[in-house]
Amino acid sequence: MPANTLPRILVLGAGLGGTIAAYEIRDATKGRAEVTVVSDSEDYWFVPSNPWVAVRWREPDAIRVPLAPVMAQKGIGFTSVGATRVHPTESRVELRDGSSMSYDWLVIATGPELAFDEIPGFGPDGHTVSVCKTDHAAHAADAFDEFCKNPRPIVVGAAQGASCFGPAYEYALILDTELRRRKIRDQVPMTFVTSEPYIGHLGLDGVGDTKGLLESQLRERHIKWVTNARVTRFDDGMAHVEEVGEDGAVKKTHDLPFGFSMLLPAFRGIKAVYGIEGLTNPRGFILADKHQRNPNFKNVYSLGVCVAIPPMGPTPVPVGVPKTGFMIESMVTAVAHNIAAELDGRQPNEVPSWNAVCLADFGDGGVAFVAQPQIPPRNVNWSSHGKWVHLAKVGFEKYFLKKVRSGVSEPFYEKLALQVLGINKLKETTKEDVR
C-alpha cells in the first residue's frame, strides 16, 4: 500500500445497521481510514414503519432517505451497485457490475434474504403479502384496500424459523385497529399463526410479562391463535398449518381460509456470503466472536440481522432470536470502537451490550419492553403497555429518520438520555477482554 493511501473500510449494506455503522466508523476513525458503503439501493428505508405503510398510515416516501447526498456530506464513499460475492481470503468484494473493491476491514451489515421459497405458495410472489420491505408493504396496502371491498378472514403471524416476531404482532393489531376504523371488523375473523411455543415468546422466551400482555391484547380484540405452528403450504385463500406438540409430533392440523394474509418468513444469509466456509454458519449467517469479529477472517466484522446467534433453546418448531434495533446499534458502536483500536495497533476489546429496547405499536396503543441484555439471564426484564407506546413509536420514527438524514449516529441528547436510563451500548471492559 502506498504511503499516502489510507486503509479502506468497506461497509456492506445500508439498512439500519450499515448506515449508522458508516457514520459511527467515520467518526471513530477520524480521517485515518477511507470509509465506503456498498449497497444494493440508493435509499435508506425505515423498515420499522412498514406495518404502517401496509395500511396507508404512512406513504413510502415519508420513510425514505436518499443516501448518496448524506454520505458525500460526511466524506463517506457510496455505491448502490450491490455485491455478488465476498472473497474473504482475498479481502475483496465482487460487485454486480463486474468490478471489485478491496478492503483492509470489511463490515458486513447486509440484513437477511427472505426465505419465502421454503414454503409453497408463500410470499408476495405467492398467495400472501409481506411487510419485510417497504415496496412489499406498499403492495400489501393495495391488496388490503381490495380486500376491504370484500371482507373475509385474515391470517397473520410468523412462519417456522422466523426470528422477527414483533412486526407480526404489530401488524395483526394494526389491522384490527384499521378494520374497526373502517367499521368492517365484525366481518373479518382473524387468526394469529406463530411458530412460537407460546404467545409473547418473541424468540426470547418472553420479556417481562409479554405472554400475559399479548395474550390479553389478542383476546380483547377477538383474535384466535395457533402456537407451535408449522405451515406446510399456502393455496389461494387457504393456509395449511400443522400444530406441533411438545414431543415434536403433529397434534392437530388446521386449514385456515383467508382473504388476506401476512406471515413473516424465516431468514437466511444473502447469496453474496452464503456457503463461504469459515465465514458463515450453514444457514448463511455470519460467524462472530464477542467483539463482532469473525473468528477465521480477522479483518471481517458483522452486525445486525446477518449475524449468527444460536436459538434460545429447543422448541417444538424452530424459532430464531430477533436482532432488535437497539441491540444492532450496540453492535455498531462495538465495531466502530474495535476497528479504531486496530488502526491504533491495539486488539479489539469492546463488547456490545446486546440490550434491547422495543416499541410495538398497535395503532391505538402498544407494548414496550426493555431486556438487559436481550439474551437471558437478564439484569432488567421489563414490559408495559398503553397508548403512550404508540406516541413513543411515532416520535422514535421521526427522531431516527432525522439521525439518518443528518449523518449523526448518536446525538449528545440521545447519549445523555441513555445514561440517565442506565441503558448502555457497550459492556464494561474487563481485564479478560483486553488480553
pLDDT in tens, 136-188: 999 999 999 999 999 999 999 999 999 999 999 999 999 999 999 999 999 99
Confidence category of residue 429, pLDDT binned at 50, 70, 90: low
pLDDT in tens, 314-356: 999 999 999 888 899 999 999 999 999 999 999 999 999 888 7
pLDDT in tens, 199-234: 999 998 888 889 999 999 999 999 999 999 999 999
Long-range contacts of 179-188 (CB under 8 A, 24+ apart): 179/148, 179/151, 182/148, 184/148, 184/151, 187/151, 187/152, 188/151, 188/152, 188/153, 188/154
Q: Which three cell numbers stand for residue 201?
A: 415468546
Q: Of the residues 132, 148, 306, 358, which is catalytic? A: 358
Between 312 and 258, where is the model more confident?
258
Is a pLDDT exceeding 70 seen at residue 413? no
Is a pLDDT exceeding 90 seen at residue 422? no
CA 208 to chain centre: 21
Query: Can you tell me the mean pLDDT for 260-282?
Result: 98
CA–CA dist 327, 30 (Å, integer): 24
pLDDT of residue 356: 77
Confidence category of residue 311, pLDDT binned at 50, 70, 90: confident
CB atoms within 10 A of CB 182: 14
pLDDT in tens, 370-404: 888 877 888 888 888 898 989 989 998 999 999 99
Helices (H), 353-421: 387-406, 412-421
Query: Can you tell me the mean pLDDT for 406-430?
Result: 64
Query: Can you tell me the mean pLDDT for 412-425?
Result: 55
CB 20 within 8 A of CB 409: yes
Give the burial class of 274: count Cβ atoms within 10 A of its Cβ; 0-12 exposed, 13-18 middle, 19 or more buried. Answer: middle
164 is catalytic: yes
pLDDT of residue 380: 82
pLDDT in tens, 282-297: 999 999 999 999 999 9
Q: Tell me which amino acid residue 261 is.
A: S
pLDDT of residue 230: 98
CB 157 within 8 A of CB 194: yes
Output the DSSP codes for 36-69.
EEE-SSSEEE-GGGHHHHTTTSS-GGGGEEEHHH
% of the chain at pLDDT higher than 90: 79
pLDDT of residue 430: 47
CA–CA dist 394, 5 (Å, integer): 44
User: In 109-228, where do the E strands start and end?
Assistant: 113-114, 154-158, 190-194, 223-226
pLDDT of residue 76: 98
Confidence category of residue 434, pLDDT binned at 50, 70, 90: very low
Is a pLDDT exceeding 90 seen at residue 100? yes
CA–CA dist 206, 201 (Å, integer): 4
Q: Of the residues 132, 148, 164, 306, which is catalytic? A: 164
pLDDT of residue 383: 84
Element (H, E) at 75: none
289-316 as b/e: b if 16+ CB within 10 A: eebbbbeebebbbbbbbbbbbeebeebb
Is a pLDDT exceeding 70 seen at residue 127? yes
CA 45 to chain centre: 12
Confidence category of residue 432, pLDDT binned at 50, 70, 90: very low
First to last CA, the chain: 29
pTM for this entry: 0.93
The mean predicted confidence, pLDDT, of the chain is: 92
Output the DSSP codes for 227-262.
-SEEEEEEETTEEEEEEE-TTSSEEEEEEEE-SEEE
Is a pLDDT exceeding 50 seen at residue 412? no
148 is catalytic: no
Q: Which of 408, 407, 396 is nearest to 359 (CA)?
A: 396
Is a pLDDT exceeding 60 seen at residue 419? no
Between 432 and 67, where is the model more confident?
67
pLDDT of residue 4: 58
